[in-house]
Amino acid sequence: MIPVIAIDGPSASGKGTVAERVAQSLGFHFLDSGALYRLVALAAGRSGISMGDTTALEKLAANLDVRFYQGNIYLNNQLVTDDIRSEICSRHASLAAAIPGVRTALLTRQRAFREAPGLVADGRDMGSVVFPDAVLKVFLTADPKIRAHRRYNQLMNKGIPASMQSLLWDIEERDTRDESRTVAPLKRGNALLLDTTTLTIQQAVDQVLAWFAEAQPGLS
């Protein structure tokens, strides 16, 4: 079996950065599952598809022309790495993720990332739905205000305008929506809890690596 480390958690908890660095440390592949939903949202906006048109969104998700290459993301051969990080794309991605048909369309695509020597996958249902047999499941979280501050700095560093209060409202609203949706809701389950409110990224990475060493001593 190809080992999978599943890192789930709420929006802006830092799970993407932690997961990517863990993957680099282990020489594993990396899956940013949230990027797929952001791509659906971006493609819908560019195609004039309403986020309420579930049929069109399901078809769009099933036929996404997406490519991940050297840390960048391409949609229809156009670089969209930064475009999918906007506030509106984030909000619409959460709406798309609540549509059962969209999740089903992206499930096979996500599982295809599982290749030797291993995979680190981050999202909201990596351990509960996509990779239930993951050798290590981590639920990474942080205080909402800290998460809003981190997202604000991330956007500002990329030159993307942002409002701290708007980000906090969006994070709290998204938490409620993700936790209450009927399909693959955000939940800790049997994952190990990692609260990064007072941790640096490196401290969080070190903890995940330590847990993986305990779970798979021959691969760490």
Q: Please check whether residue 20 lies inside any domain of the structure.
A: yes
> Do 178 and 95 touch, CB atoms closer than 8 A?
no
Q: Is residue 219 part of a domain?
A: no
Give the tokens for residue 60: 């769009």
Instruction: Specify if 134 maps to a domain.
Output: yes
Give the pLDDT score at 163: 87
| pLDDT tens digits, one per residue of 1-52 | 899 999 999 988 889 899 999 999 999 999 989 899 999 999 999 999 999 9
pLDDT tier for residue 85 given thresholds of 50, 70 and 90: confident
CATH number at residue 164: 3.40.50.300
The tally of domains found in the chain comes to 1
How confident is residue 220, by pLDDT bands cut at 50, 70 and 90?
A: low
Q: What is the mean pLDDT of residues 200-217?
A: 94
Q: What is the pTM of this model?
A: 0.84
Cα–Cα distance, 53 to 64 (Å, whole number):
16
Q: Does residue 14 sit within a domain?
A: yes
- Expressed as residue numbers, the domain containing 129 is 4-213
Q: Evaluate whether residue 220 is within a structural domain.
A: no
By CB neighbour count within 10 A (0-12 exposed, 13-18 middle, 19+ buried), where does 116 fall? Answer: exposed
Tell which residue, 123, 109, 107, has the closest CA to residue 5.
Answer: 123
> Computed over its alpha carbons, how large is the radius of gyration of the chain?
16
Which pLDDT score is estimated for 94?
84
- Does residue 203 lie in a domain region? yes
Given a cut of 80, whether residue 92 has pLDDT beyond it is yes
Using 50, 70 and 90 to split pLDDT, how confident is the model at 168? Answer: very high
Mean pLDDT of 89-115: 90
In-domain check, residue 218: no
pLDDT band, residue 98 (cuts 50/70/90): confident
Q: What is the mean pLDDT of the chain?
A: 90
Answer yes or no: is 91 within a domain: yes
